[in-house]
Amino acid sequence: MKAFQPDSSPAIKIVTIVGPECTGKTDLSTYLGSHLKTAVVPEYARGYLNKLNHPYEASDLTKIAHGQVRMEEEWMPDANGVLICDTNLLVIKVWSESKYGSCDPEILRLMQSRHYDLILLTNIDVPWENDPQREHPDKREHFMQIYRKETAATGTPVIEISGDRETRRATAVKAIQQLLTKS
């Protein structure tokens, strides 16, 4: 797979939304895409796992990582100044390390090839909703601490998204508008 070339579209900023399970990532990304009239890269894992007829394995996470990267690259031309990503490979890394105790070096290599201009980190202050793909309703605080540490280590600006739906949306829009005015 070719490496992502952020310089190929210097006017496009890339914003990714990460956080523990069931913290409003998809709701927020959908809203931002509509509000900003831009492309939203969905979570590849959800569709992949829906089509799997067996429990996922570590090797599936590598396939999911490749699919997520491919979608980011394919959707870039549809972006209107900013591309919103409903997740990124950091989520797959955390997922893999939690479930399997390690992460495939290929996923880590792919992570190094990615560039994001802003990370929106969704907090656990929203109610848990059951979903067959969600695994850890009792470990939300644990995962929130991991995401805080992991996002801080990226060197990318991170804005924590908390509060009710309207507050979350307003915080995210403000952060993206500030990002876009810096260009």
Domain borders along the chain are 13-182
Sequence letter at residue 50: N
Residues contacting residue 53 through CB under 8 Å, at least 6 positions apart = none
42: number of Cβ within 10 Å: 18
Closest CA to 84 of 18, 161, 17: 17
pTM: 0.90
Closest CA to 87 of 101, 69, 100: 69
Residue 125 φ then ψ, to 5°: -85, 30
Q: For every one of its 183 residues, what pLDDT tens digit does the chain have, with 9 covering 90 and above?
A: 333 434 444 589 999 999 998 899 999 999 999 999 999 999 999 889 889 888 889 999 999 999 999 999 999 999 999 999 999 999 999 999 999 999 999 999 999 999 999 999 999 998 766 655 556 667 889 999 999 999 999 999 999 999 999 999 999 999 999 999 986
Second CATH level (architecture) for the domain 13-182:
3-Layer(aba) Sandwich (3.40)
Q: Taking a C-beta distance cutoff of 8 angstroms, is the pair 111, 93 a contact? A: yes
